[in-house]
Amino acid sequence: MKIDLFDYKFDAEKIAKYPKINRDEANLMAVDVKNFKIAHKKFYEITDYIEKGDAVAVNNSSVKKARIFGKRVSGGKVEIFITEFPADISFPLKLKSLVKAHKSIKENEKIEIAEKIYLTAEKNLGGGLYEISVETKSDYDYIFEKCAAIPLPPYIKRAADEKDDIYYQTVYADDSAGLSVAAPTAGLHFTEKTINSIKEKGAIFAEVSLNIGLGTFLPVRTEDIRKHEIHKETYTVTKKTADIINCAIKSGNKVIIIGTSAVRSLESAAVENKDGGYLITPRKNEETSLYIYPGYKFKVTKNLITNFHQPKSSLYIMICALIGIDKTKAIYEEALKNDYSLFSYGDAMYLYNI
């Protein structure tokens, strides 16, 4: 299955560089997939598609400030990007990181982040990747509260500012649930008002946590997409969440999944029952390397809210697996024709009746 099947052309100005001040005023393309009917809405109108008893599954992992600037003892500048955070934070803390410097960092070299505050590049893992260590909780707190920046995706091509601290984070993010280095972007459109409107209609929110790593930004580079090695991510599905989703499935209500990270969590946690259907089982801090591409049989994903993804990405490929390559391309063409914006801070689609 050739990677070029999953390409599309777009103008760079279609990439949203900044968030919308009113999150829920993003454009929403609502697509009845089976009948292939398209409606152009605003995100706050998602409530028109939600009924009593529906379950809305969100990823509540919190985006951690993961980009850090420091210097070598010699004075040379160093940029550090934490690629993933462990489920349990304990000290001394080991973190996988991309480290950039004018000359290669040596193993066990100390990098000064602030006066008398250091990180140590303990192991060179190759390809610019290092295992770095933070010695104490006080150092950790100081570095990530005072010195680190929100890790905006590279295609945004600007430095993060104070607004990104707010807008590159869902309103329901929970530090205690898990830490990500990229936002679950479909969730960025929700406001407290929208959430309350959904609850007033009788829908129930269910939270999963998948800690999104750097791999979410990486394109598929293999000519045959089936040879791509997907990144591993840690996820949790509580018993409460499993019960909410299973109740909706058994009662014939919709399970509306918010974002591809929540899809990976729930598809990984789904098991076949004796009737040939699927139910969700609780999981705690388990790893998933689930790679969804055309031919995959979806277990519980029947309704999905997601943003518009990069061409040749595993996320775009997942949408092609869900609704077909031709329909996916038609939806993207419709979006670009109607001036939708793309990627993390861009607009959204709601795929239903799949």
**Cβ count within 10 A of residue 166:** 11
Q: Assign 3-class secondary structure to 266-313.
A: HHHHEEECCCCCEEECCEEEEEECCCCCCCCCCCCCCEEEEECCCCCE
At residue 16, the pLDDT reads: 98
pTM of the predicted protein model: 0.96
Angstrom CA distances, 352 to 35, 200, 214, 256, 349, stand at: 10, 21, 29, 8, 10
| 3-state secondary structure at position 109 | strand
At residue 292, the pLDDT reads: 97
Torsion angle of C-alpha atoms 24, 256, 187, 151, degrees rounded to 10: -150
At residue 214, the pLDDT reads: 81
pLDDT tens digit at each of 354 positions of the chain: 999 999 999 999 999 999 999 999 999 999 999 999 999 999 999 999 999 999 999 999 999 999 999 999 999 999 999 999 998 899 999 999 999 999 999 999 999 999 999 999 999 999 999 999 999 999 999 999 999 999 999 999 999 999 999 999 999 999 999 999 999 999 999 999 999 999 999 999 999 999 999 877 788 999 999 999 998 999 999 999 999 999 999 999 999 999 999 999 999 999 999 999 999 999 999 999 999 999 999 999 999 999 999 999 999 999 999 999 999 999 999 999 999 999 999 999 999 999
Beta strands 270-272 and 278-280, pairing class: antiparallel
Which residues are registered as beta bridge partners of 348? Answer: 28, 307
Task: Let me know: does 201 contact 50? Beta carbons within 8 Å.
Answer: yes
162: enclosing H helix or E strand: helix 162-167
196: enclosing H helix or E strand: helix 192-200
Output phi, psi for 55, to 5 deg.
-110, 135
d(CA 93, CA 291): 29
At residue 51, the pLDDT reads: 98
Token duo for residue 180: 């990500």
| Cα–chain center distance at 151 | 12
At residue 38, the pLDDT reads: 98
